[in-house]
Homo-oligomer: A and B are copies of this chain.
Amino acid sequence: MTPQRLSVLDIVAARTGHIGADEVWNLAKEQHPYVDLATIYRTLQLLKRVGVVTEVIIGNKLHFELADQHNRHNHMVCSTCDGVQTLSPDYLAEFSQRLEQEFGFTPDLDNITIGGLCSSCQPPG
């Protein structure tokens, strides 16, 4: 664990909810002015790999949030307004079990994001 990595973790942890990679960078620069964006990305991928943060794809940008074991959830992202709603993993449990039983495929539940249209962005008619 290096100072740069600690900063990244602190920044993600300080936020309740998700934060974009560019925002992490801007905040990290306040403490480490020369930190490179590549380091931010590498660190975020590392934290994701070890299970400390989860990744949410919003629009076409990567966002991250602390992986709180006591409040695990998935995300529904509206492709029109980029709004995010959280979803209890219970909704996916049965589906996930079927995939595992019938195909031996283990879905990566932590990183499943459901795209679609939120209630406010439904097409008229």
Contacts and interface: CB of A to CB of B under 8 A. Distances in A.
A95 B98 CA distance: 12
Contact of A112 (B94, B98, B114, B117): B114
A103 B119 contact: yes
A48 to B, nearest CB: 12
A110 to B, nearest CB: 10
Secondary structure call for the A interface: mixed
A76 B122 contact: no
A118 interface: yes
Contacts of A91: 95, 98-99
Interface in A99-124: 99, 103-108, 111-112, 114-119, 122
A85 B105 contact: yes
A110 B91 CA distance: 19
Contacts of A115: 107-108, 111-112
A79 B112 CA distance: 12
5 contacts: A76-B105, A85-B103, A95-B95, A108-B117, A112-B114
Given A92-B95, A105-B119, 4 more contacts: A87-B99, A87-B103, A94-B94, A106-B122
